[in-house]
């Protein structure tokens, strides 16, 4: 039986794919499979993957006929996975040698549904460790209890799918697939669903994933309309959480997080040329509508608990006012 299936989407990452593939080779075992998903790349990535299919032990090459984005590519891999456990890697990141064997040993020792791990952030030559925002480690715990408190960073804010390992029973229950077609924030509904519906999880300080940031091909560096999928993603978080038996206690966390992400994107649109002008306008319009869709009592409480800059920006958006700088005065002006 296959012990571990690793789903690795690739899209136009010819510069970085060799690092990912070399690191998979350094993690290969007879009972591991690596599901390499080509999301309809148009550069030299497909040739690199065809070679890997021949040379990398456990490699299985899959190809999407149309580019569907990261969520859809991951789903392609999940549909083909045969492993008792599952993990993810992005095609522009890489792993420490032997990391997956340690990860399998960890989840088998804890006996839980999923395990979350710290990771190494790589920006150019700079390295830093990003830790799971959860204090208790090395034991099986309730994932639902790790969602709160609302006013602090918690495990649902650490949404990286590749920072962990997942038991197959989660896949069989329909908890590991992503919302098809989401181009960004695809991990957000996914991590909330895991924490609401899985029965147990653990957190460990095992370092083995190297996350590459700041590359020009990353969607986080591209200011086009695909970035606005975060609104669809968080609408889904709110909708699903509102149906939960504990909605009263969980919704304040979901609303506050949604507000923080809206503020982050809108501030970025104001302070830089990150977004194309038409996309920046659409961002403000969609954000304003999203704020008005939220439970207004919970939203008011969230805004009252935020710092003045973020709260002011969001209140203007909720009233339908533009927060973009006035070209003549440099201050916010009505839309």
Per the CB < 8 A criterion, the answer to whether 114 and 107 are in contact is: yes
DSSP tag of 172 = H
Q: What is the pLDDT along the chain (335 residues), one digit of tens a residue?
A: 999 999 999 999 999 999 999 999 999 999 999 999 999 999 999 999 999 999 999 999 999 999 999 999 999 999 999 999 999 999 999 999 999 999 999 999 999 999 999 999 999 999 999 999 999 999 999 999 999 999 999 999 999 999 999 999 999 999 999 999 999 999 999 999 999 999 999 999 999 999 999 765 544 445 578 889 999 999 999 999 999 999 999 999 999 999 999 999 999 887 666 788 889 999 999 999 999 999 999 999 999 999 999 999 999 999 885 555 443 333 333 32
Query: Which homologous superfamily does the CATH classification assign to the domain defined by 4-220?
Result: Spore Coat Polysaccharide Biosynthesis Protein SpsA; Chain A (3.90.550.10)
pTM of the model: 0.91
Q: Rounded distance, CA 268 to CA 263, Å?
A: 8
Q: Where are the domains of the chain?
A: 4-220, 223-318
How close are the terminal C-alpha atoms of the chain, in Å? Answer: 61
């Amino acid at each position: 039986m296959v012990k571990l299936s690793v789903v690795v989407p690739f899209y136009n990452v010819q510069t970085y794919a060799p690092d990912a593939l070399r690191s998979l080779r350094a993690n290969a075992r007879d009972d591991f499979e690596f599901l390499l998903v080509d999301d309809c790349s148009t550069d030299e990535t497909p040739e690199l993957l065809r070679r890997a299919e021949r040379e990398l032990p456990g490699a299985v090459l899959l190809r999407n006929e149309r580019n569907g984005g990261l969520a859809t590519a991951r789903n392609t891999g999940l549909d083909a996975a045969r492993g008792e456990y599952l993990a993810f890697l992005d095609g522009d990141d890489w792993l420490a040698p032997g990391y997956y064997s340690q990860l399998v040993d960890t989840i088998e020792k804890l006996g839980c549904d999923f395990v979350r791990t710290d990771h190494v952030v790589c920006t150019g030559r700079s390295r830093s460790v990003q830790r799971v925002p959860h204090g208790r480690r090395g034991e099986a715990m309730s994932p639902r209890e790790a969602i709160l408190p609302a006013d602090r960073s918690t495990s649902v804010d650490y949404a990286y799918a590749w920072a962990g390992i997942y038991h197959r029973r989660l896949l069989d229950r329909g908890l590991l697939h992503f919302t098809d077609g989401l181009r960004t924030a695809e991990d957000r509904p996914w991590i909330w669903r895991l924490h609401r519906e899985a029965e147990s999880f653990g957190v460990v300080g095992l370092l083995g994933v190297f996350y590459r940031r700041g590359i020009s091909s990353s969607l986080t560096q591209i200011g086009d309309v695909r970035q606005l999928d975060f609104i669809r993603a968080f609408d889904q978080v709110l909708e699903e959480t509102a149906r939960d038996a504990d909605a009263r206690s969980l919704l304040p966390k979901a609303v506050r997080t949604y507000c923080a992400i809206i503020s982050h994107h809108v501030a970025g649109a104001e302070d830089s040329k990150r977004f194309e002008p038409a996309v920046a306008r659409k961002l403000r319009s969609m954000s304003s509508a999203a704020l008005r869709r939220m439970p207004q009592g919970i939203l008011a409480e969230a805004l009252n608990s935020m710092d003045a800059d973020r709260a002011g920006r969001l209140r203007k958006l909720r009233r339908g006012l533009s927060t973009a700088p006035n070209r003549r005065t440099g201050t916010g002006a009505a839309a």
